[in-house]
Amino acid sequence: QVQLVESGGGLVQAGDSLRLSCTASGRTFGSYAMGWFRQTPGKEREFVAAITWSGGTTYYKDSVKGRFTISRDNAKNTVYLQMNSLKPEDTALYYCAADARFNTVLAGTNNYWGQGTQVTVSS
């Protein structure tokens, strides 16, 4: 069982940066692929970024490539999402995701989800 807790969201202006963190419980964190998703009211949750258990492979939604960076520190059971050059369209509730399989995280059918942290970008 894995429990995920996100933090780092907030209200910022367009062009600013934020770093989201997701800390996981459980001794098997280092063996899990991790990801970030986001959702706005009335829309389905969408994939943002994912990283393999080793950190050796990452994958991003096209619209965030070059602006967002996903990374992890297995010693701290934490995955990060560094978000630069934020835009109003990045406003959403951001969720952390985990699963033993990378492809499952990419598909959003993973077993574990956090509660979400709100990111609001004003223009």
C-beta separation of 51 from 89 below 8 A: no
Can you tell me the distance from the alpha carbon of 42 to that of 67, in angstroms, rounded to the nearest whole number?
25
C-beta separation of 37 from 50 below 8 A: no
Q: What are phi and psi of 10, to 5 degrees?
A: 170, -170
Q: Which residues contact 62 (CB under 8 A, 6 or more apart)?
A: none
Q: How many CB atoms lie within 10 A of CB 113?
A: 19
User: What is the per-residue pLDDT across 96-114, written as a single tens digit (0 to 9) for each?
Assistant: 999 999 999 999 998 899 9
Q: Is the pLDDT reported for residue 92 higher than 80? A: yes
User: What is the per-residue pLDDT across 36-61, written as a single tens digit (0 to 9) for each?
Assistant: 999 999 999 999 999 999 999 999 99
Residue 87's pLDDT band (cuts 50, 70, 90) = very high
